[in-house]
Each structure stands twice: as C-alpha cells, then as structure tokens.
Amino acid sequence: MSISRRQFLKSSAIATASSALPLSLTLPSNAFAAGSDDYKALVCLFLYGGNDSFNMIVPAAGANYDNYVNARPDIHLSAAEMLSIPPTASGQATAINSSMPNIAQLMAEQKATAVVNVGTLLEPTNKGNINSVRKPSNLGAHNKQQSAWQIAWNTSEYHSYGWAGMMMDLLANEAATVSESLSLSGNELLGGQSSQDLRISSDGVRAMDALGHSNAVNNNFIKLVDQPYGSLFSQEYISRLKGVIDFQAELDSVMNNFPEDETIPASYLGSQCRMVKRMIQASEQLNHQRQVFFISLGGFDNHGNQRGKHDNLLAQIDSALSAFYRSLEAEGLQDKVVTFTMSDFGRTIANNSNRGTDHGWGSNQLIIGGAINGGMTYGVLPEFIPSYGQDATGNKFIPSTSSEQMAATLCKWFGLSDNSVDYIFPSLNPANDNPFPNRYLGFLGDATQPPAIPDKLVVASVSASETRADHTPEMAVDGDSATKWTAKGVGITFTLELTQMAKLSEIKWSQAKGDVRQYFIDIAVSSDGINYSPVSSIVTPGTTTGLVSNPINASDVKYIQLTCNGNNDPDRADLRTWNNFQEIEVWGS
C-alpha cells in the first residue's frame, strides 16, 4: 500500500466527513487562511493538576511583592529565588522563578514571554460584575476546567470539539500523509469534527493503534499477514491488513531520516519534545503545512509541601523547553514553531496550612518562539490580596484576560481569519453585549489591534444572467423578504456590485423554501467585474427561510458573483433547477 493510496483513503474520509460539517466549516481552507505557503507548528504543553503559576511568574518588587509575601508566608520566593523578566505594559515589575534560568534568558532575548492572570471566562469579569455575568461552571473541578481550556464556549454551552481541532477542520489539508494533529497524551484540544489527532509516542508513529500496544501484538500481526489463508474474503481482509504493515514501513523509513536530538534532555517531558522535533523535521515528507502537537506533564496538584516538588517540575519545564527551542534555532525553525502552556487553573492566592495551595482560577502561562513579540509581559499582574483585594473572589484571582483570547491569538498567527476566529470563539466577537476589549493579545504576529467591526455594505447594483419579469434581481436587495428574484436553470449568475472596494467578512442570504430544500451556490469575487476568483462552494443547510451566514475572507472586492445551480427539492424533480434569493446582505469593512 503506497503513501499515495493512503492519501487517497484519507482524502475520501475527509470528503465524507465534510458533508456533515456546519456550513462555515464546508468552506475551503483558503477562504479562512491568511496565507498557506509557509510551514507553522503549535506545541501545547498541558500541565495537569493546576500549576501554581503565581510561584512561577511573580511580582518582583514594591507593594505587590509585599502583598505576595504576606499571602504566602510559607512558600513565597525570596529575592534570591527570582530572576527579573520584562515588565507588563503598565510597567509592573515582574520576575520568574529561579528554577527557570533558561526561559528567563529567552525572555531577555525576546524569544519568550508570559501571559499573566489568564483564565476561563465567558465575558469580561471583575469584582464589580462577578455576580451578574456568566461564568464557567465547576471552576474548581480538574476535569471541567481542563476541558474549558481546550474547548471554546459556544454562546450557551461549550463546543463539541477542541478549539485546535476546529482550527484544523478549517485548515484541512487533504494531501497530508497522516493527521497534522499529533498527540503524545490524551486530550480534548485536538479533536475536530473532521480532523482527529494521531496518537504518537516518544518511540514513533504507528499506522494502526494496535501496533503500538506491545511488540508481541506487532509480531503476531506481521505473522498473520505473512500467512494468508481461508476464503477469498479472508484473504482480501488479510491483504488490507498487510497494507497497514507496508504503510508502517514507509512511515518508519521517513522517521528514520530524523534521529532523536540528544541536545534535548531525555526526561519525561524532554523525550516528548524530542519526538515533536522529529515530526517537525519530517513535515515536508509527510506533506504537512501546519502541525499541532499536544504534550503534557503532571504532578501539579500540590496541596501540601509544595515548594520542592513544584520547583523541580519548573526546572524540568525549563530544561526541556529551552533545549527544544535551541534545537529548532539550530535548524533555522525557531520562527516557525510556537510552544505554549495551559493548565487546569491557577492556585489560591494565599497558601494553606499545609504549605501548599488549593484550586484557584486565574493563572500565568508561558509562550516561547522566535515569532513572538517579546520584550514585555502580557496582561496585568493582579493585586496579591485574598478576599477583599480588587482582583479577588474569595481566595482566587479573577482572571483579567480570557484563555480564549490567548487561544485566538495563536489561531490568528496560524492562519485563521477574524471571521473564523469568531466562529470558534463567539465569546470574543466585538459585537457582543459585553465585549472583551479585543480578540487578540498581541504576543504574536500583527494581532496587536482589535480588527474593525464588520458593517453592512451598500450594494450599488445587481444583475442576473436569467430572470423573470416579476421577480427581478433588485428584489433580492430591496429589504423586503416578501419579494424575491427567481430564475430557472443551472449555472445562472447573480452579480452584486458594491459602491466601493471592500474587505469582505460574510455574505448572508435568505431563500424561499430554504427550510425544505438545500441550494447549491458557488461564490466568486472580483475587483474589476471581469476577472473573478472562486471563494467557496456552498450547500445551504435546508433548515430555514431566514438569513444564512456564509463567511468570506477576501480583500479588494467590488463585485460578488453567485453562481446558482438549483436545489434538491425532496418532492418534485421538475422544481430542482429553480433558484431564488429573497434577501442578500454583504458584510465587511
């Protein structure tokens, strides 16, 4: 079984799954991606148990350092146990635990940064509105908060899929030999509707999960396929299994070109980083343009005798992630890869009577990569006072930054448009009643300013290649859903001209019988009305006669051409070549 055959099967699976996706996920990746020619990778390090990140990143001086010492008399860092790092945008002096000298050096080189007091939020929350705004449920529960970091909020409940999995749905690469989502640990982050993560280990990649369980399983599997017997059905079945073995051999031949990088420590975390490095090096041979990795480290739920255990864990993170970055730097890959941390939650403001900390809310996270905008710490260090402190709810910090803003910044750098970021993270939409100040945090790329809120654009004129005298094109833009344009045929074009050049974010339309039929429409755009570029092929949901949103990411557009290809009327074949628009709206800036 050749890799090309494997690619064919993988592409077929993607095509089959895509028919079940929501409308916006059926758009091709170039409708969402800002650019698709350059390789990029994200590496998520999840710290299981709830990292006490306020003993990782701390206030360095002044009244807030005194507050920190008073709140944590048994576990605070002394001045000798801290290393200075760049301050926050507001000038707050900030330090990192001295167990992390290498990451401190990367911060000094502007190759790493921290996001402070970030946590799971549904809308901006502070001490004044905490009792009136929506908040995530089960704030102290490990499993629920692990999920909340990995799965975005979808208006009234969490999505069914991880935010990185949804991102990879939108950036689907049918040419990939194996999945571009790669995990060395169980997770919810990478699961998408059509994209699924491939479980790998520090030892390699397995074409079939069973092959990775043990050498005995693997040897018996090979023995079975080497001795075909039985009925024609059995022999064909064994032939298919042999294809898995052949494909595994091809995978092994690819991975053998990239031995482990022994400059990365052989610790538990370091071994995972070694494998990630190999997969990054193999990306071109695996036809990967984007890769997302999930690695993990546990042991952070320290309710007692925390300092020694916690400092040792931070030291392991420091040595592994810094060596991983330096190894990428040696290959010229440092600008292509961003590593970031996540954890269940932060810990309590004050230490407990057992010299540990309990479950908190707000936390601090690390971001490492050559592409980051370093030289500062992102966010605002909270006032280190429990209960009555301005940033406290009881003994927990109220996050001032949403974990979804941090995730959206990563997605934006990875290639998603603002419109697709809003699809994954609707809580960040600037049009919300209680909006966050921006979608992005600015630590990556050019995502430093909130994008313009889309407006409804003015249509200067409309035309159609076919029409009826009493159902003209103008009726589709007259603001009256009781009137409509109609025409019979396949390949009929409906063209809208805008009053001026615009950047498009979406086009909405409503259609008669849209609640019982699906309509088939191709969208193309042009700046001159002559040369059109295809954007997407739409199959409408068939569940509503109201406006249906179709995301578009296109700039310098003055003309939009909708090619109408009929419908799938469930009852009458003679009506399947009819097309109509009741109302059309174009949105952008």
Q: Could you report the per-residue pLDDT of 348-405, keeping only the tens digit for each? A: 999 999 999 999 999 999 999 999 999 999 999 999 999 999 899 999 999 999 999 9
Mind listing the pLDDT tens digit for each residue in 201-240?
A: 887 776 554 444 456 656 665 666 566 666 666 666 666 6
pLDDT at 12 over 50: no
DSSP 431: T
**Percentage of the chain modeled with pLDDT above 90:** 67
122-131, 193-202, 573-582: the lowest-pLDDT one: 193-202
**Helix 232-255 vs helix 3-18: crossing angle, to nearest 10:** 100
Tokens of 96: 């990192």
Length of the chain: 589
Which residues neighbour 443 within 8 Å (Cβ) at sequence distance 6 or greater? 113, 115, 367, 372, 373, 378, 409
Which residues neighbour 276 within 8 Å (Cβ) at sequence distance 6 or greater? 43, 182, 184, 293, 295, 324
CA dihedral (70, 74, 76, 79) in degrees, to 10, reads 90
Strand partners, 114: 366
What is the Cα 145 distance to its own chain's centre? 17
Residue 131: count other Cβ atoms within 10 Å of its Cβ: 8
Cβ atoms of residues 416 and 171 within 8 Å: yes
Mean pLDDT across 192-198: 86
The Cα 170–Cα 586 span in angstroms is 22
The Cα 239–Cα 424 span in angstroms is 41
Strands 57-59 and 363-368: unpaired
Q: How confident is residue 451, by pLDDT bands cut at 50, 70 and 90? A: very low
Cβ atoms of residues 158 and 188 within 8 Å: no
Through-space distance between the first and last CA atoms of the chain, rounded to whole angstroms: 50
pLDDT at 502 over 50: yes
Cβ atoms of residues 103 and 368 within 8 Å: yes
Mind listing the pLDDT tens digit for each residue in 553-562?
A: 888 899 999 9
DSSP 381: P
The Cα 583–Cα 512 span in angstroms is 10
pLDDT at 79: 96
User: Phi/psi class of residue 513: alpha, beta or left (left: φ > 0; alpha: ψ in -120 to 50)?
Assistant: left
pLDDT at 377: 96
Tokens of 478: 């007259």
pLDDT at 570: 94
Tell me phi and psi for residue 159, to 5 degrees: -55, 165
Cβ atoms of residues 48 and 297 within 8 Å: yes
pLDDT at 252 over 60: yes
**Percentage of the chain modeled with pLDDT above 70:** 85
Tokens of 12: 């077929």
